[in-house]
Structure 1
Amino acid sequence: MAATPPRGRLEGKNAIVTGAGGGIGLETSILFAREGARVLMADISEPALAKAQAKVKKIVPSAPRVETIKCDVSKESDVKAMIDSQDSWGGTDVIFNNAGIMHADDADAVDTPEKIWDMTHNINVKGVWFGSKHAVLSMRRNKKTRGSIINTASVVALVGSATPQLAYTASKGAVLALTRELAVVHAREGFRFNALCPAPLNTPLLQDWLGDDQPKRFRREVHFPTGRFGEAIEQAHAVVFLASDESSFVNGTDFVVDGGMSRAYVTPEGPAAPAPKNLGS
């Protein structure tokens, strides 16, 4: 009797990834495709999307479907169109509401401009709300009995920082509360909501902000027991788990992937632990 060929962990699922043009979104798109999902990659930047899509297709040539769509997650019409586009494929099974912003002018209670506060919350909070709302409507419309919504929060929603980006921190705290509420509301429908809480990562979003300021960089690195920032692929592996049926009883969690940073008091000395290689960069 021939052995049954292995199935991908996400085979047969339609998955959407926002903020897919780079970083966690790109790495997640690669892993989703590798695990058999049909992937819709969304981002506000069409050039970034085109490059990211090409990378996914090159790394996973057997991917069942990898498509792109431009989406400004702060606009409900864009988010609705993105999610509704999956109806012809049977509706959305998984959405990773990952798109976000951390603005260079974000500061503390005194120096954060109101326009930066509003912009940050429109993208980081409203975008997650819109994605969650229309994912639920899609799942209901397509008679889904299970679904997974993963929202990108941050470890700064759990621990305080004396180097503040107040609008960003507040927005990510809102994502945690929103995710917990939705997890409870929709549990009997089989729709799970979990919040990914990454530590600072070696991604363009943070690294461009840190630049060549070594003291600014060290002030953050020193808090990691591993002695290094996290990598996007380490977050992406966690997202695959949350998206898969393996996590069927994981709901409403603040899923912390921070290398032990939020559990550390005094960190070790010596060279940093080795980091895994990202697939898309």
Structure 2
Amino acid sequence: MQVWTVSNQKGGVGKTTTVVTLAGLLVKRGYRVLAVDTDPQASLGYYLGVDPDELPGSLFDLFRGHDRLDLAQVESVIVPTGTPQLDLLPASTALATLDRTLGTQDGMGLILKRVLAMVAHRYDAVLIDCPPVLGVLMINALAACDRIVVPVQTEFLALKGLDRMVRTLDMVGRSKGIRYPFTIVPTMFDKRTRASLQALTALTQKYPRELWHSVIPVDTRFRDASQAHLPPSHFDAGARGVQAYDQLLDALLDPQGGAHV
């Protein structure tokens, strides 16, 4: 089972779109996929048509009951989506209280890894959507994954968020004695604008080894897909944004493909 975390310490850069699109494309390739929402805003769930307020349980319940976790408890909070072979481990607004209420307890950084180990027999791939804040949720997402995908909007302020994210990966990695493999993915690229072109040039110069070789273009079909509560690959497989993510997926699945450290 492959586990990828999609993370950046800046909001609005395309994290949720990246998770949903890659998940849909993996499903189309025959994978059984679990999407995990660790963001208290629950954007991933809303995108897939799941209202966390109407669910009996969420990821928060697994954290709260971490000392008695078992397979039945984990399975009780995983829900199907409208896309066959794509399930969701949903977030809830209560996750926002984790750092304050449980963050100082021992072992809190490995709960998600334990959860995913329990359902590894059910899925071929897991994609984790992260909040844009360094805390117990991001630490869990980093500890549970094999690879980190860092979407970066091609504009100046997003580059500053990327620098913070890379410093975080270095800091957390050094504390654990590891180096996190990560791939930087330029998103919302518009070749007609100077801002996008300048941002892409800056990314190429600063992160030549980690940067994916292509870009995810601006595409209104992503917005249309979210309104339909479908992965973009299932809403409009021919959309240029979906085709770009399909190329990204090829790189991520190829051990020799894609930029990574």
TM-score, length of structure 2 as denominator length: 0.49
Greater share of helix: 2
Q: Radius of gyration: which is bigger?
A: 1
Of structures 1 and 2, the one scoring higher in RCO (CA 8 A, sep 6+) is 2
